[in-house]
Structure 1
Amino acid sequence: MTTSKPDVSIVIGAYEAMPYLIRCLESVEAQTLPAGRMEIIAVDDGSTDGTGEYLEEFAARTAVPMRVVRQENSGGPSGPRNVGLGLARGRYVFFLDADDYFGEEALERMVSMGDRAGTDVVLGKVVGVNRGAAKSMWKETVERADLYSSNIKFTLSAQKLFRRELLVRLGMTFDEGLKTGEDALFTMEAYLRGSGVSVVADYTCYYLVGRDDGKHVTKSGSYLLRFDSARALMGLIAAHVPPGPRRDALMVRPFVITLLPQFGPALLRQSEAVREKKMQLAAPLLDAYWSAGLARRLKVHERLRLACVSKGRLDLLLDVLQFMRDKEEPRAVRKGARGRLYLAYPHFGEGAVLPDAAYEVTVTERIGGRRIDVPERQSTAAFLRRLARKVRRTARAVLHVPWRAHKV
């Protein structure tokens, strides 16, 4: 292995990765970034399908400097990634999953972006192969994305280019106590504590592969793991961002992506014991982090379900979920002097149960294929001016009586 410092250390944690590992490694070897500017650190996490043997065979013939570590199974992706990170020497580190593969220019483009922008994290465009992948953050290439207003907070997987100096300085590692969501915690910390995030959106850097055998960590495991993940991510955000609009913007991620799926229509099929346990686990999270500002950033069905959870009203939640499962469409209702728009999900208008605010349209919605936009909001001053004009018009209409009408 060369003694000069490479640009990128590619860390691959591999477990039962055949045959996907073949294309994964070929995509590293095919990079337009020269072989001498990369290194591969591959950790076989106790595989029995020939993964370890293939890694060693590939290392013996590739021009890319490569180190292979073989260890007993650790039970999750965090251990192998931490081992690889500890051995990395590159200016940057990229965590490549053994199922996935790079676009040929991926590393060259991402390294160039990180060097040019001076940022600590670089996101390369991801597309799914035989599975879905997030899309909203790939609209444009930006040297410095704003964490609070952009959608980068919705891509927290580990498949990013991280400046190693940041990780070393902060002593960052993957939490081996978390069995899901450990990458979200790691990436969000880098977003929050690093010197900026860049986005490469004009080239597909990473292909996220859906395995034919369906073996994806995020699809397996007890629901308890999801609550562990939500709790950790919410706590991290709260530790670094004080209460207010910026915290609310980031809290959308763990509330909607991690917590809310536990309170979807599938809850109707689950036992009473599981339902009650989920309500118990969610209660302290809602007590600590749920806010009016966060609520207004959500769609009505999202806000409404979490409002039911926050009030401990499983009965109301089940009514809403039954409505959703039956694919019923809520009526759009305008109400009040300011013409606010509401979606009439179950219990709308029963103020003693849930306030009307829980049903208000505050972000763009789609109901039955129809787009429902937020009504243009008026400032208090504009509302008062409009009200005053209406009063004056009414007064003039009353006072403007023909002279002859006064004659007796």
Structure 2
Amino acid sequence: MGEPDVTVVIGAYEAMPYLVRCLESVEAQSIGADRMEIVAVDDGSTDGTGEYLERFAAESKIPTRVVRQENSGGPSGPRNTGLKMARGRYVFFLDADDYLGDEAFERMVAMADRNGTDVVLGKVVGVNRGAPKSMWARNLERTDVFSSNIKFTLSAQKLFRRELLTRHGMTFREDLRTGEDAVFTMEAYLRADGVSVVADHVCYHLVGRDDGKHVTKSGSYVLRFDSARAQMETIASLVPAGPRRDSLMVRPVVVTLLPQFGPVLLKQSERIQRHKIELARPLLDAYWTRGLARGLRAHERLRLHCVSQGRLDQLLDVVAFVRDKKPPKVVLDARRRTAYLALPFFRDPAAGIPDRVYAATRETLSAADLVWEGGLPWRSRVRGAARRLLGPRLSRRVGRLAGRRPAA
């Protein structure tokens, strides 16, 4: 057999009965059995996963190799085993819980061949779980991680040009128990000669398991900090300091780090709360910049400021405010042409938190909650500030209010 177009690497652990539909979706691919191969790795399953894979390999028209190994403790080991055995021009990492859209490989390979790109994203939808959405607005023949929203989908279920992976010796980190795919995929984005996006066809169904055995749902909070650290280190090693690095750092901060300082924090012991701050502070010391801060919403920025200062008392008050979904007042400083959200401790002398932490950026703001500062807000001055800060729709509402004297 010649070189296949796609090697499908399937790492499987306790994957029954989900594995059945997963493999059926590979056999249903319109690209044809002669253009694919499967490398399936049973990672020490005890539920019949390995036996089912062997029966499939004996009966399927798709060339299939099965490896049965002792449990490695995470998805990286099976993926690395499969990657070493891959012979295809492209590699696709398919989780045994999930399944493909019928034309996924045909469309993705065509996209990569047409544009010479090294990574292709196919549209993902969730089944009994959420899935990323912001990157599927339209097909992108050629883009990169700085010009699109692809940084917000870092799962491993992408089409990767195998030559890219072998040239850079890329593998999944086996010391990480969660977020290993985010590190791998971000590196691939940054090293790739172009990325393509297939947005007009569902290529991948991300399945929420009923038995709760998804690895991303298990493990201690310490694993999340390990993941955030690894992601940040990868970005810093490949992108010089500056706006481009800051734009990428937003992803591990928002997706991996900040959830550790959400409402769940209020239910945890003081020991865990303080330990989380200890784990986060070195990351903020190393990578926090004003450029990164500007990419966050005000309440996110404020929480991380409290963390960076080691102020657990302030942090808990802010988290409680966010949990209660209280709409903050919007303070429009006409002299500075700046809008602020009056979140907890805003301009509290005892707290000493700089105004810039509260600066409004892209939040949905209500003009009805505006508090004017800097004297009588002349219409033109306020309207200009509002258009820049709040957007056209809200600025029109601000303009209508701008001629009114603030209530005493």
The answer to whether structure 1 residue 314 and structure 2 residue 312 are counterparts is: yes
Which residue of structure 2 lines up, in the alignment, with residue 394 of structure 1? none
The alpha carbon displacement at 1:364 in A equals 3.5
Which residue of structure 2 lines up, in the alignment, with residue 150 of structure 1? 148
The answer to whether structure 1 residue 124 and structure 2 residue 126 are counterparts is: no
The alpha carbon displacement at 1:134 in A equals 0.5
After superposition, residues 357-372 of structure 1 pair within 5 angstroms as: 357-365=356-364
The alpha carbon displacement at 1:180 in A equals 0.4
Query: What are the superposed Cα offsets for residues 215-261 of structure 1, whole Å, 9 maximum, x if unpaired?
Result: 11111101100010000110110111111110010000011101011
User: Which moves more between the two structures, 321-330 or 95-104?
Assistant: 321-330
User: Percent of counterpart pairs with the same letter?
Assistant: 71
Which residue of structure 2 lines up, in the alignment, with residue 376 of structure 1? 387
After superposition, residues 67-146 of structure 1 pair within 5 angstroms as: 67-146=65-144
Distance 2:123 2:323 in 1: 34
Which residue of structure 2 lines up, in the alignment, with residue 38 of structure 1? 36
The answer to whether structure 1 residue 265 and structure 2 residue 276 are counterparts is: no
Mark the CA change 1:366 to 1:16 in structure 2 (over 3 Å): closer, same or farther.
Answer: farther
User: Which moves more between the two structures, 88-97 or 316-325?
Assistant: 316-325
Q: CA RMSD in A?
A: 1.7
Name structure 2 gaps, 5 residues minimum.
Answer: 370-382, 390-408
Letter in 2 for 1:236: T
Distance 1:366 1:83 in 2: 50
User: Which moves more between the two structures, 145-154 or 345-354?
Assistant: 345-354
The alpha carbon displacement at 1:333 in A equals 1.5
Contact 2:330 2:365 in 1 (8 A): no
Query: What are the superposed Cα offsets for residues 352-390 of structure 1, whole Å, 9 maximum, x if unpaired?
Result: 5211111111124368xx9xx993339xxxxxxxxxxxx
The alpha carbon displacement at 1:70 in A equals 0.6
Q: TM-score, normalised by structure 2?
A: 0.89
After superposition, residues 283-298 of structure 1 pair within 5 angstroms as: 283-298=281-296
Q: Moved runs in structure 1, 4+ residues, more than 6 A?
A: none
Task: Determine which structure has more spread, i.e. the larger CA radius of gyration.
Answer: 1
Distance 2:240 2:190 in 1: 12
SS of residue matched to 2:131? coil
Contact 1:308 1:317 in 2 (8 A): yes
Query: What are the superposed Cα offsets for residues 70-90 of structure 1, whole Å, 9 maximum, x if unpaired?
Result: 111111000000000000000
Letter in 1 for 2:386: P
Which residue of structure 2 lines up, in the alignment, with residue 253 of structure 1? 251
Which residue of structure 2 lines up, in the alignment, with residue 238 of structure 1? 236
The alignment of Structure 1 onto Structure 2 pairs a total of residues equal to 373
Distance 2:173 2:387 in 1: 44
Which residue of structure 1 lines up, in the alignment, with residue 166 of structure 2? 168
Which residue of structure 1 lines up, in the alignment, with residue 61 of structure 2? 63
Contact 1:299 1:365 in 2 (8 A): no
Q: TM-score, normalised by structure 1?
A: 0.89
After superposition, residues 207-226 of structure 1 pair within 5 angstroms as: 207-226=205-224
Distance 2:132 2:245 in 1: 22
Letter in 2 for 1:69: V
Letter in 1 for 2:388: R
The answer to whether structure 1 residue 20 and structure 2 residue 27 are counterparts is: no
Distance 2:183 2:237 in 1: 12
Which residue of structure 2 lines up, in the alignment, with residue 385 of structure 1? none
Distance 1:319 1:161 in 2: 44
